[in-house]
Structure 1
Amino acid sequence: MKNNRLAYPYVGWIALFVILPLVLIVVYAFTARSGGFTLENFSNMEIYLPVFFRSFWLAFIATAICLAIGYPVAYFLSREGHGFRRIATILIMLPMWMNFLLRTYSWMSILENTGLINTFLQNIGFFTLFNGIFGTSYAYFPMINTQGAIVLGMVYNFLPFMILPIYTVIEKIDYRVIEAAQDLGADTKNVFKRVILPLSLPGILSGITMVFVPSVSTFAISKLLGGGMVTLLGDLIEMQFTGGSYNPYLGSAVSLVMMVIVLICMAVMNRFGEGEEGAVAL
């Protein structure tokens, strides 16, 4: 009984700051400006389908890039010595100790038309050589305020959330299982394909979830690196709550639809992961 009482503050915290906001979102989503029940907030949402598609597409690209980079890094770290792993883990987490907005602002100064990259290319005469070969007249490469810059910001900010879960899972794989597979005649490729990859699947799913969810709902990255030229779901929701077109009812409806779609994607992915693990076990 005493241990249960210790959990009361945490239950109250979750109820106040997690459950209550979700309930308010649901209530506002089905409420009209006049105060009555309505489905109008959802019926006109087709005009925002391009925003939904763009947000999920860019989040998917960022997640795929994080997985392509994060898995080899995590696997490499798991094969190294304890001292190297500790230093590498600190270096991976080091940018996360800095403010999120500050990290994103730093990429603005790097990608701007007069930023670090374009200035360096100008100083070494790259644009003169490039224009002479291809007959163009570039004074700089436009990198800021593009979808590519937004994806880059997502990858940079969320990559540690992909590396660390995968690394944690791979590190805990019993090496005797790998030795058993080698004793049974499996080469390096088959050991990875049939042993390491299936056993690391929980870390992969955790990493995908931890990258995809904040990527699809981000608004700070798209606002700073997209310059307001690329509207994502996070920007759309923010405009409904803080912009001139103040409409918390529509913003709640968009938020609710986004959460439902994300939950469906996560459920399908987890179901797929369970199927993969069962196939490997068989």
Structure 2
Amino acid sequence: MATATARRTLVTTLLLAPATAWLVVFLVLPFIAVIVFSVGLRAPEGGYQAAFTLAQYANLGARSTAFWNTMVLAPAGALACLLVAYPVAYYLALRVSPRRRLILLALVVIPFWTSLLMRTYAWMYILGARGIPAFLDLIGIPDVRLLNTPGSVMLGIVYGYLPLMILPIYVSLERLDRRLLEASADLGATPVSTFLGVTLPLSLPGVMTGISLVTILLLGEYLIPTLLGGGKVFFIGNALVDLFLQSRNWPFGSAIAVTLVVASVLVLLVANRVTARISGARQVDLI
């Protein structure tokens, strides 16, 4: 018995070794380097100078605008994605035949086949002076500015991240036991009551997964604010690019990066806690 257990342990260790080595080399060690940089000083010519100080963390307020924009627009973008994604996922999971469902799911995923850069450039043209504003000017609504505004950034966020919100919600809804919906209807519940009392609670794990996934990605977003915000809507990702590549203040940039990772971990912890409580409550209700 002991020999069999040891053999299984050895096989498991060998199977996990490549993935573990990959994570250590390309995730853990770089993050440790970032932490070390964050407690250092900027060298006179730029870069990193060895030291041990928390001055970089104390100076985080210097990038308060980037933090504020990110902490406001990232959750708002996730919420906007949710409001658009839930009806789409509901329709795909519960209102479409299996054959049509595959086609519509493919249409949801197809935008990922094109670079986000190209799709964002397309929105730059649509929202730019020769796009929608030109059309509005033709019908008598002049001087409408859509590009380089928080609204254009929000639109780009919803368009770019919508599939990542649709798919986890769709999975939750697709696994939903249809007999629960039928039982609710047989007991006299209205469609709205069935949705609020059965469908929505059972799909909340997928909702939380989509919200956490989109929010975490948006915390480090750089491309959409740069192209659609025109340098007027700064995210933390824009601040990191500026600090590492322009001003070459690696310690300060590392401190911001560590703070960003901590914020992402907090989002995951909160999402997991909420999902666990929802799942527990669901099991109790079903019992």
Query: What TM-score do the two structures reach when normalised by structure 1?
Result: 0.89
Equivalent pair of 1:146/1:225 in contact (CA under 8 Å): yes
Deviation (angstroms), 1:184: 3.2
In structure 2, how many angstroms separate the alpha carbons of the residues matched to 1:20 and 1:106?
A: 38
In structure 1, how many angstroms separate the alpha carbons of the residues matched to 2:178 and 2:150?
A: 42
Identify the residue that residue 239 of structure 2 maps to in structure 1: 236
- Render the CA deviation track for 1:243-263: whole Å, top value 9, x for unaligned: 1x1111111100111221232
Q: Which amino acid aligns with 2:113?
A: W
Structure 1 residues 265 and 11: CA distance shift in structure 2, 3 A: closer
Q: Which amino acid aligns with 2:118?
A: L
Identify the residue that residue 6 of structure 2 maps to in structure 1: none
Q: Does 1:98 align with 2:114?
A: yes
Identify the residue that residue 256 of structure 2 maps to in structure 1: 254
Deviation (angstroms), 1:274: 3.1
Identify the residue that residue 210 of structure 2 maps to in structure 1: 207
Spell out structure 1 runs of 4+ moving beyond 6 A: none
In structure 1, how many angstroms separate the alpha carbons of the residues matched to 2:74 and 2:184?
A: 37
Equivalent pair of 1:198/1:277 in contact (CA under 8 Å): no
Identify the residue that residue 14 of structure 2 maps to in structure 1: 5
Deviation (angstroms), 1:15: 1.2
- Render the CA deviation track for 1:235-281: whole Å, top value 9, x for unaligned: 001111111x1111111100111221232233234323333444453
Deviation (angstroms), 1:197: 1.0
Match of 1:51 among 54, 58, 66: 66
Deviation (angstroms), 1:161: 0.2
Percentage of identical aligned residues: 35
Q: How many residues align?
A: 268
- Render the CA deviation track for 1:85-107: whole Å, top value 9, x for unaligned: 11111111111100111111111
Q: Which amino acid aligns with 1:218?
A: E
Equivalent pair of 1:149/1:225 in contact (CA under 8 Å): yes
In structure 2, how many angstroms separate the alpha carbons of the residues matched to 1:76 and 1:58?
A: 27
Secondary structure (helix, strand or coil) at the match of 2:129 reads coil
Identify the residue that residue 135 of structure 1 maps to in structure 2: none
In structure 1, how many angstroms separate the alpha carbons of the residues matched to 2:279 and 2:190?
A: 21
Equivalent pair of 1:58/1:216 in contact (CA under 8 Å): no
Match of 1:27 among 33, 36, 48: 36
**Unaligned segments of structure 1, at least 5 residues:** 131-137
Identify the residue that residue 3 of structure 2 maps to in structure 1: none
Secondary structure (helix, strand or coil) at the match of 1:230 reads coil
Q: Does 1:117 align with 2:132?
A: yes
In structure 2, how many angstroms separate the alpha carbons of the residues matched to 1:11 and 1:269?
A: 25
Identify the residue that residue 42 of structure 1 maps to in structure 2: 57
Which residues in structure 2 correspond to 1:60-79 (within 5 Å)? 60-79=75-94
Q: Does 1:15 align with 2:20?
A: no
Which residues in structure 2 correspond to 1:113-262 (within 5 Å)? 113-114=129-130, 116-122=131-137, 125-127=138-140, 130=141, 138=142, 140-243=143-246, 245-262=247-264
CA RMSD, aligned part only? 1.7
In structure 2, how many angstroms separate the alpha carbons of the residues matched to 1:9 and 1:269?
A: 29
Q: Which stretch has the larger CA shift, 162-171 or 45-54?
A: 45-54
**Unaligned segments of structure 2, at least 5 residues:** 1-9, 43-48
Secondary structure (helix, strand or coil) at the match of 1:145 reads coil
Deviation (angstroms), 1:194: 1.7
Equivalent pair of 2:205/2:278 in contact (CA under 8 Å): no
Identify the residue that residue 270 of structure 1 maps to in structure 2: 272
Structure 1 residues 236 and 249: CA distance shift in structure 2, 3 A: same
Deviation (angstroms), 1:222: 0.8
Q: Which amino acid aligns with 1:126?
A: I
Deviation (angstroms), 1:117: 1.5
In structure 1, how many angstroms separate the alpha carbons of the residues matched to 2:195 and 2:89?
A: 14
Equivalent pair of 2:212/2:267 in contact (CA under 8 Å): no
